[in-house]
A = this chain, B = another copy of it.
Amino acid sequence: MEEIRKTARERMKGYCRVCPVCDGRACAGEVPGMGGLGTASAFTANVDALAAVRFNMRLVHNVSEPDTQIDFLGTRLSLPLLAAPIGGVSFNMGGKVTEEAYIESVLGGCSDAGILGCVGDGVPDFIHEAGYAAIKKMDGKGIPFIKPWEDKAFYEKIDKAIAAGATWMGMDLDAAGLITLKKMGRPVSPKSPEKLAEMIERVKMPFILKGVMTVSDARLAVDAGAQAIVVSNHGGRVLDHTPGAAEVLPEIADSVKGRVFILADGGVRSGGDILKFMALGADAVMIGRPFSVAAVGGLREGVCRYIEGVAGELRSAMVLTGTERADSVHRTILRRSRFEGICYG
Contact = CB atoms under 8 A, between A and B. Distances in A.
Interface of A: 20-21, 28-29, 38-39, 41, 45, 51, 53-64, 148, 173-174, 176-177, 179, 187, 189-193, 195-196, 211-214, 216-217, 220-221, 224, 233, 238-243, 248, 270, 272, 276, 312-313, 315-317, 319-322, 335-336, 338, 340-341
A60 B211 CA distance: 10
Contacts of A340: 338
Contacts of A336: 341
A319 B177 contact: yes
Nearest to A176: B59
B193 A241 contact: no
18 contacts: A20-B28, A38-B272, A38-B313, A55-B242, A57-B174, A57-B238, A58-B216, A59-B174, A59-B176, A59-B190, A64-B176, A64-B189, A179-B315, A238-B320, A239-B272, A240-B270, A243-B335, A338-B340
Contacts of A220: 60
Contacts of A313: 38
Copies in the complex: 4
A221 B60 contact: yes
A66 B271 CA distance: 41
Given A272-B239, A315-B179, A233 B57 contact: yes
Nearest to A244: B54
B51 A41 contact: yes
Nearest to A234: B57
Contact of A217 (B51, B59, B62): B59
A217 B177 CA distance: 39
A176 B214 contact: no
A132 B45 CA distance: 46
A120 to B, nearest CB: 18
Contact of A214 (B57, B174, B196): B57
Given A57-B211, A61-B192, 6 more contacts: A55-B242, A58-B214, A58-B216, A64-B187, A176-B320, A179-B316
A301 to B, nearest CB: 20
A123 to B, nearest CB: 17
Contacts of A179: 312, 315-316
Contacts of A240: 270, 272
A190 B62 contact: yes
B214 A56 contact: yes
Given A21-B39, A64-B189, A195-B62, A241 B54 contact: yes
Contacts of A28: 20-21
A192 B54 contact: no
B319 A189 contact: yes
Contacts of A173: 59-60
A61 B39 CA distance: 26
A196 B60 CA distance: 8
A209 to B, nearest CB: 8
Nearest to A212: B59
Contacts of A320: 176-177, 190, 238-239
Contacts of A63: 190
